[in-house]
Structure 1
Amino acid sequence: MTRAPSENPPVLAGRTVLQIVPDLEAGGAERTTVDIAAALVKAGARALVATTGGRLVPELEAAGGTHIAFPAATKNPARILANAGALSRLIRREGVDLVHARSRAPAWSGLIAARRTGVPFVTTYHGAYRSVGRLKNFYNGVMARGDVVIANSGFTQALILKRHPQAEGRTRVVYRGTDLSRFDPAAVAPERVAAMRRAWGVAADRKVVLLPARLTSWKGQEVLIDAAGNLAAAGRMDFDVVLAGDEQGRTGYRDRLVDRMLKAGLGHRVRIVGHVEDVPAALAAADVVTTPSTEPEAFGRSAAEAQAMGKPVVVSDIGAVRETVLAPPEATEEARTGWRVPPSNALGLAQALNQALDLEPEAARAMGARGRAHVLSLFSLERMVAETLGIYRELLGPRP
């Protein structure tokens, strides 16, 4: 697969880069948007972000980025065309040198505006978008129309080229970056961990299995509850399950989860705690972190962050996890950083969780050290920033 060059971040002084993303709530695309904006400011560039807003806006502005309130989440065709006109005016007014779109609907507006104004256009494929039928594939195809198309994993790059072969030669793999200074076991004080466990209502002598993901069915919360039920039925009673993530208005799905855990006799052992602000402390408070997704993860940010925090991980064996989590048969048992199990397989998930929970402290620390080293080698924030800003420099060239 083609990798982006690992060069130092280029000098972009005086340039203006506009990123477009639907919102700035929690998520991989949103987190990356803020990270790249901060890096642009450090490189002497102006970083504009057009979005409907969200909880990450204060962080963006504190890093020196500029938030522009913009209806970027709309999927209405007429509104997308109107947005293209508004973006064209914005590009001319603000002297934007490059547009970077991170989602499909705003990418259509961004593509039209970039072509009208003659500025380079970059896209990042953050998800393994469903592609059912020609119309849906055409809609998704805007993400393959950038002058450079960034894939956040080798899996994603292969998916792009399978669905949109015309993107051959324009795709680059730039792995999602983890801030290893923030996601560092040594940087998380014991008081933060203890406060997190108290907030969850978990006793000090209980082990914690954490699923850090928004409440949506494909993230696998139901599979985890079933797996926990299997472990409890087999006599394993020393752990609690924590589901940490926004329900994002999906009250019906939350009710379904509660009903499922009650029927499994787990009502007092599964906690739905909502959005967690201090993610490093949440990961540090866990004994095992799992992401049992039922659909492919384009990258798998949670697994990378958990490994950066030195935690054993259990993930579904679909999508990009063969790049993010080392396990047999692709890696030796001695190199293992976690377990990969078939998706939607509660029994397989239960067996892997059982092995992870049974790890002796020394073995758990050794696995955690291997996981952090793996993330450090491939998935650091510094590497992602260097490669992304390197792409910007290639497209912009020297300032006239």
Structure 2
Amino acid sequence: MNILFVLSQMELTGAETYAVSLIQRLQDMGHKIIMVSDTLNSELNIPYYSINLNNRKSPLNRIKHVLSLIRIIRQENITIIHAHSRASSWPAYFASRIANIPLVTTAHCIYPVHLSSKLMPCFGDKIIAISEAVMDHLIKDFGIKNNNISLIPNGIAVNRFSPQIVLNELREELGIQPDARVISWVGRFSGGRGKLIEEMVERAFPEVLMNIPDLNILIVGGGERTALMEARVRAVNQQFNREIIRLTGLRYDTPQIYGLSDMVIGAGRVALEAMSCARPVIAVGERKYIGLLTPLNIEEGITTNFGDCCQMQAINWKAMSRTMIELLKDKDRIKQLGTWGREVVVSRFNLDMVAGKVVGVYEGMFHAKIRRRAEVRKGGECL
């Protein structure tokens, strides 16, 4: 199949990493992928078209977006469209209807609900929800029928995100002593994610640093709030009189960063990637603090996409600090939880399995389209 992936990325987010990993697996399966997005941060050997889909305030711009997608659909002989955001699903919906091809949208998060979006959801023929909380949100807030939604989680390339042997060169590059303990946080600095890590730097990390003197904290990411992050990190480093928290910027060697870490803090795909690398994870998202992932709370983590997709709840920063301190002092538990987490991801989030389910959605839509055409043709013959 020739599949058009439509995103609306202004920066690197989980939606792009989801799409990129899925694209690579679909290519291995023999499918041709074409991508449309505002920007593309990852290196991919596929046709890529840049369209500013976020510039949608003007009705004229929206019409231009639809016409641009129709041109690409015809030029690339597209079979199916796969959208990955609200900004991309709207023009993709109208382009798919005009071109008479199926549209599937992956819902990655909890979306704002407006009267216009309820009256015209524009998700397409099928929706893939990455968690149960997202699925419930689509049914409750947008009135989507249950049988139009497929619950398919994030897929993780478990061979790439695997237990790592970290070379000393990486520690030297980052200025970390050979035996020093490390916590890593990975994510963007914009929106709720940025506000979350800013508060964490001020309200959770100092207590941990006072109890674990050799600790190093890596903050991997970037975005529009970088200057604010730099100021907050500088203040904590001055408090402890050394570069104890490091801003690394965007990095594409995250498996090695996870492997370097004694624990990882994150939500969404970051939590799964770190678990796949056999690292214990403290799950905290934009809406909720789940805590240290264990067999007792893993289902809550999965259901809420590790704190990103649920009702907003206040974070107990002191509880988070205590959890970090206790775990850093227990090497056996770090190893035990790492082994368990790897098993969870391999058995439930393996990219090969997830890609197979996504292709199943594609094939179901494609065959449904063929059946509809046959029924129309048969009806015409009867007349």
**TM-score calculated relative to the size of structure 1:** 0.80
The equivalent position to 1:74 in structure 2, one of 50, 55, 71, is: 55
Superposed, 1:292-331 pairs within 5 Å as: 300-316=268-284, 325-328=293-296
- The reply on whether 1:352 has 2:323 as its aligned counterpart is yes
The equivalent position to 1:151 in structure 2, one of 105, 129, 132, is: 129
Distance 2:338 2:325 in 1: 17
Question: Who is 2:81 aligned against?
Answer: 99
Counterpart AA for 1:268: E
- The reply on whether 1:201 has 2:175 as its aligned counterpart is yes
Distance 1:270 1:306 in 2: 19
Structure 1 residue 239, shift from structure 2 partner: 0.9
* 2:288–2:314 CA contact under 8 A, matched in 1: no
- The reply on whether 1:242 has 2:224 as its aligned counterpart is no
- The reply on whether 1:268 has 2:243 as its aligned counterpart is yes
Structure 1 residue 52, shift from structure 2 partner: 3.1
* 2:53–2:88 CA contact under 8 A, matched in 1: yes
Superposed, 1:202-241 pairs within 5 Å as: 202-216=176-190, 218-219=192-193, 220-225=196-201, 226-233=203-210, 235-241=211-217
Q: Deviations over 1:168-193 (max 9, x none)?
A: 321111110110000111xx3432xx
Q: Deviations over 1:223-257 (max 9, x none)?
A: 33221212344x431312111112x2324422442
- Which deviates more, 176-185 or 42-51? 42-51
Distance 2:77 2:9 in 1: 23
* 2:280–2:337 CA contact under 8 A, matched in 1: yes
Distance 2:172 2:129 in 1: 39
Which secondary structure state, in structure 2, belongs to the residue aligned with residue 222 of structure 1? Answer: helix
The equivalent position to 2:139 in structure 1, one of 134, 153, 161, is: 161
Question: Who is 1:3 aligned against?
Answer: none
Structure 1 residue 319, shift from structure 2 partner: 6.4
Question: Who is 2:303 aligned against?
Answer: none
Distance 1:217 1:93 in 2: 36
Q: Which runs of 4+ in 1 moved over 6 A?
A: 317-322
Counterpart AA for 2:243: H
Residue 41 and residue 216 in structure 1: after superposition, are their counterparts in 2 closer, same or farther (change >3 A)?
Answer: closer
The equivalent position to 1:116 in structure 2, one of 88, 98, 104, is: 98
* 2:21–2:157 CA contact under 8 A, matched in 1: no
Structure 1 residue 87, shift from structure 2 partner: 1.2
Question: Who is 1:43 aligned against?
Answer: 29
Residue 125 and residue 320 in structure 1: after superposition, are their counterparts in 2 closer, same or farther (change >3 A)?
Answer: farther
Q: What root-mean-square deviation, in Å, do the aligned CA atoms of Structure 1 and Structure 2 show?
A: 3.0
Structure 1 residue 330, shift from structure 2 partner: 6.8
Question: Who is 2:121 aligned against?
Answer: 142
* 2:180–2:214 CA contact under 8 A, matched in 1: yes
Residue 18 and residue 317 in structure 1: after superposition, are their counterparts in 2 closer, same or farther (change >3 A)?
Answer: closer
- The reply on whether 1:52 has 2:38 as its aligned counterpart is yes
Structure 1 residue 317, shift from structure 2 partner: 7.4
Question: Who is 2:150 aligned against?
Answer: 172
Question: Who is 1:28 aligned against?
Answer: 14
Distance 2:124 2:325 in 1: 45
The equivalent position to 2:345 in structure 1, one of 371, 375, 380, is: 375
Question: Who is 2:71 aligned against?
Answer: 89
* 1:177–1:380 CA contact under 8 A, matched in 2: yes
Identity fraction in percent: 21
Distance 1:44 1:329 in 2: 38
Counterpart AA for 1:218: G
Question: Who is 1:7 aligned against?
Answer: none
Residue 267 and residue 125 in structure 1: after superposition, are their counterparts in 2 closer, same or farther (change >3 A)?
Answer: farther
* 1:85–1:113 CA contact under 8 A, matched in 2: yes
Residue 109 and residue 366 in structure 1: after superposition, are their counterparts in 2 closer, same or farther (change >3 A)?
Answer: same
* 1:123–1:150 CA contact under 8 A, matched in 2: yes
Which secondary structure state, in structure 2, belongs to the residue aligned with residue 183 of structure 1? Answer: coil
Residue 222 and residue 69 in structure 1: after superposition, are their counterparts in 2 closer, same or farther (change >3 A)?
Answer: closer
Counterpart AA for 1:66: P
Report how many residues are paired. 356
Which secondary structure state, in structure 2, belongs to the residue aligned with residue 397 of structure 1? Answer: helix
- Which deviates more, 69-78 or 202-211? 69-78
Distance 2:57 2:219 in 1: 33
Q: Deviations over 1:154-178 (max 9, x none)?
A: 1211122121123432111111011
* 1:52–1:73 CA contact under 8 A, matched in 2: yes
Question: Who is 1:4 aligned against?
Answer: none
